[in-house]
């Protein structure tokens, strides 16, 4: 501990789309550039630095919680402070809430930049009021969060914001060993045609020197050259400095750890070991907790918390679940809802769950886009329910290791509605293209519109041309009727599934 010295804070900017994240970063960078008179266009190396009152702040250039949580899912903790941008004319919006929940799950403090204060309709106090509902409470109201009113457009309040970030950093007492073999995290890597593998990294312990033997993820090499965010060649990088380095054997990934070694051979060996380990891990990928394995994990790994990401078609379901969980005995395992929102299950939800070892619970909603594939890849459990008490029953049973062999839904295929017809005496029939798997006449079916389940039932008919058929495979068109449901629309997704009995694993 005696070797630790103060280091600059590393900051990520988050917030709802169009609330001014990019503008704010630009305004901040502009402040920094004029002040240091670096005489140059800032180079985009993935991070930037500004100096205020002779102190440095590092900013990660990719705003938003997606990149932030993707890094964390890989074990990289780079950000010390989150600046949450909220537009004063718009207030708290869905991605504001996501950003708060992602920051909280990572345990990173939030400084709020109330932006667009130049607008006549701006209402910064309303933003403060609205944020209290999400546990982000101004210090002047007795809370933990520092707030600054800014206008990214007019450059107002930027100095104040930077000073506030430094205050927040002081509270955190950020320190690192500045006199040891360097290590840290890769922010991004790319292959440059002229220069070979290029990586931007943030130094944790330092300093990093040109000529050092480094391992980054599965690649290694000697640092051939180093560029700072202004595009200048440097020979040394200190803790919290972002630099672009050349000389690696391959392109490392965002979130990979890097380390300096005294001996090249050690560096190469470690890189090779990691490559081998990665291949093995790929084969038996780290599994995250599931409701079925919760009890075992509690006894084996002393898992003391069950984290949930809850998505629902209506706010009422989320509240009902939170209520019921609150009444549950939590002496053995604490149940936390780390994020909840109305809407389909997204890729970001899966990333957050992977980073936080959480289970995703959906009410009346389904995974959208690539979320299901990602969940499979990341081994994140998605449990979807149509009835609340069933979810509560499952969680309660899982808690005491009594989750019975469950009936599980297996999705067999899905089809997209391309046209609809009204057939006399039969009702509405959907002209569909089967896009995945195989759909059978006796499967159950869900009608999904924009990721929300709007009907659950069985097929009334399944036809190819004029013939009734038993099943249709991906790549084929067919006509589908749904029993007791006439409101099919073009663009709906029909998800076919079966219910099978699964025994508890292990
Ligand atoms: P992002 O999506 O969060 O990165 O938002 P942008 O930085 O792209 O900003 C979205 C829009 O808001 C742009 O048209 C900006 O010009 C505008 N904007 C950003 N900051 C301010 C501000 O302080 N005042 C005003 N009036 N407009 C702003």
Per residue in 344-359, pLDDT (tens digit) is: 999 999 999 998 889 9
Per residue in 420-477, pLDDT (tens digit) is: 999 888 789 999 999 999 999 999 999 999 888 899 999 999 999 889 999 999 999 9
The pLDDT of residue 73 is: 84
Q: Which residue has 């391309």 as its token pair?
A: 418
Closest residue by CA, ligand 1 atom 10: 18
What's the average model confidence in pLDDT over 229-258?
92
Which residue from 23, 25, 117 has its CB within 8 A of the most atoms of ligand 1, so it is best to mutate? 23
The pLDDT of residue 160 is: 96
Q: Is the pLDDT of residue 301 over 70?
A: no
Q: What is the Å distance from ligand 1's center to 499 Cα?
A: 49
Counting Cβ atoms within 10 Å, is residue 456 exposed (0-12), middle (13-18) or buried (19+)? Answer: middle
Q: What are phi and psi of 398, to 5 degrees?
A: -65, -40
The pLDDT of residue 502 is: 65
Q: Is the pLDDT of residue 486 over 80?
A: yes
What's the average model confidence in pLDDT over 274-300?
73
User: Ligand 1 atom closest to Cα of 63?
Assistant: 4
Q: What is the Å distance from ligand 1's center to 61 Cα?
A: 16
User: Ligand 1 atom closest to Cα of 119?
Assistant: 26
Q: What is the Å distance from ligand 1's center to 127 Cα?
A: 16
Cis bond before residue 207 (omega within 30° of 0): yes
Model confidence band, residue 35 (pLDDT cutoffs 50, 70, 90): very low
Which residue from 16, 18, 21, 94 has its CB within 8 A of the most atoms of ligand 1, so it is best to mutate? 18
User: Ligand 1 atom closest to Cα of 25?
Assistant: 7
What's the average model confidence in pLDDT over 60-88?
90
Asked whether 382 and 372 are in contact (CB, 8 A), the reply is yes
The pLDDT of residue 39 is: 43
The pLDDT of residue 282 is: 65
Which residue from 19, 20, 96 has its CB within 8 A of the most atoms of ligand 1, so it is best to mutate? 20
User: Ligand 1 atom closest to Cα of 156?
Assistant: 23
pTM: 0.75
Q: Is the pLDDT of residue 41 over 90?
A: no
Model confidence band, residue 283 (pLDDT cutoffs 50, 70, 90): low
DSSP string, 193-234: TTTEEEEEEEEEES-EETT-EEEETTEEEEEEEEE-TTS-EE
Q: How many residues does the chain have?
A: 506
Phi-psi group of 203: left, alpha or beta (phi > 0 → left; psi -120 to 50 → alpha; rest → beta): beta
Model confidence band, residue 244 (pLDDT cutoffs 50, 70, 90): very high
Q: What is the mean pLDDT of the chain?
A: 88
The pLDDT of residue 404 is: 57
Model confidence band, residue 53 (pLDDT cutoffs 50, 70, 90): confident
What CA–CA distance (Å, rounded) separates 497 from 72?
34
Q: What is the Å distance from ligand 1's center to 45 Cα?
A: 23
Q: Mean pLDDT lowest for which of 52-56, 115-119, 125-129?
A: 52-56
The pLDDT of residue 406 is: 62
Q: What is the Å distance from ligand 1's center to 90 Cα?
A: 12
Per residue in 135-167, pLDDT (tens digit) is: 999 999 999 999 999 999 999 999 999 999 999
Per residue in 384-435, pLDDT (tens digit) is: 998 888 888 888 888 777 665 566 778 899 999 999 999 888 789 999 999 9
Q: Is the pLDDT of residue 506 over 50?
A: no
Strands of the 110-115 sheet, one edge to the other? 47-52, 55-60, 10-15, 81-87, 110-115, 146-149
Tokens (6 digits) for 487: 């409101």
What CA–CA distance (Å, rounded) separates 106 from 165?
18
Q: Is the pLDDT of residue 318 over 70?
A: yes
Beta bridge partners of 176: 5
What's the average model confidence in pLDDT over 112-134?
96
Q: What is the Å distance from ligand 1's center to 123 Cα?
A: 16
Q: Is the pLDDT of residue 273 over 50?
A: yes
Q: What is the Å distance from ligand 1's center to 153 Cα?
A: 7
User: Ligand 1 atom closest to Cα of 19?
Assistant: 3
Closest residue by CA, ligand 1 atom 24: 116
Tokens (6 digits) for 276: 């081998």
Q: Is the pLDDT of residue 488 over 50?
A: yes
Closest residue by CA, ligand 1 atom 19: 20
Can you list the alpha helix ranges (DSSP code H) found in 107-256? 124-132, 158-172
What's the average model confidence in pLDDT over 161-180?
94
Pocket of ligand 1 (CB under 6 A): 15, 17-23, 115-116, 118-119, 151-153
What CA–CA distance (Å, rounded) separates 26 from 440?
55
Closest residue by CA, ligand 1 atom 18: 20
């Amino acid at each position: 501990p005696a070797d630790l010295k103060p280091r600059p804070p590393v900051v990520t900017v988050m917030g709802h789309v169009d609330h001014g994240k990019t503008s704010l970063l630009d305004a901040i960078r502009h402040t920094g550039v004029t002040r240091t008179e670096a005489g140059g266009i800032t180079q985009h190396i993935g991070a930037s630095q500004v100096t205020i009152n002779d102190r440095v702040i590092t900013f990660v250039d990719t705003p938003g919680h997606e990149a932030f949580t993707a890094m964390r899912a890989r074990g990289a903790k780079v950000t010390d402070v989150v600046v949450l941008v909220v537009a004063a004319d718009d207030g708290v919006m869905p991605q504001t809430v996501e950003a708060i929940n992602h920051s909280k799950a990572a345990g990173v403090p939030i400084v709020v930049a109330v932006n667009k204060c130049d607008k006549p309709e701006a209402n910064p106090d309303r933003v403060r009021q609205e944020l209290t509902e999400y546990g982000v409470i101004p210090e002047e109201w007795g809370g933990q969060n520092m707030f600054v009113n800014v206008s990214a457009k007019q450059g107002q309040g930027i100095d104040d914001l930077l000073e506030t970030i430094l205050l927040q950093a002081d509270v955190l007492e950020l320190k690192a060993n500045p006199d040891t073999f360097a290590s840290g995290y890769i922010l991004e890597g790319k292959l440059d045609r002229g220069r070979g593998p290029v990586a931007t990294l943030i130094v944790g312990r330092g300093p990093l020197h040109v000529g050092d033997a480094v391992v980054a993820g599965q690649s290694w090499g000697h640092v051939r050259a180093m560029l700072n965010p202004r595009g200048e060649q440097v020979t040394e990088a200190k803790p919290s400095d972002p630099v672009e380095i050349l000389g690696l054997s391959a392109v490392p990934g965002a979130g990979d750890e890097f380390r300096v070694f005294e001996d090249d051979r050690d560096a190469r060996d470690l890189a090779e070991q990691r490559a081998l380990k990665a291949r093995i891990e790929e084969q038996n990928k780290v599994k995250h907790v599931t409701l079925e394995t919760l009890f075992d994990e509690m006894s084996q790994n002393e898992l003391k918390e069950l984290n949930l990401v809850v998505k629902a078609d209506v706010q009422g379901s989320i509240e009902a679940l939170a209520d019921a969980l609150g009444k549950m005995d939590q002496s053995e395992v604490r149940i936390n809802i780390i994020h909840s929102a109305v809407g389909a299950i997204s890729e970001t939800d899966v990333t957050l769950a992977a980073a936080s070892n959480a289970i995703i619970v959906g009410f009346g909603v389904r995974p959208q886009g690539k979320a299901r594939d990602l969940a499979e890849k990341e081994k994140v459990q998605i449990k979807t329910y149509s009835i609340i008490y069933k979810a509560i029953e499952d969680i309660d049973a899982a808690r005491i290791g009594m989750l019975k062999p469950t009936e599980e839904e297996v999705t067999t295929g899905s089809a997209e509605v391309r046209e609809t017809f009204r057939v006399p005496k039969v009702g509405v029939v959907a002209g569909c293209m089967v896009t995945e798997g195989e759909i059978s006449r006796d499967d159950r079916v869900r009608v999904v519109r924009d990721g929300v389940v709007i009907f659950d039932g069985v097929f009334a008919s399944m036809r190819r041309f004029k013939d009734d058929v038993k099943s249709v495979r991906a790549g084929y068109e067919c006509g589908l009727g749904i029993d007791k449901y006439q409101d099919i629309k073009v663009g709906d997704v029909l998800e076919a599934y079966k219910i099978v009995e699964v025994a508890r694993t292990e």
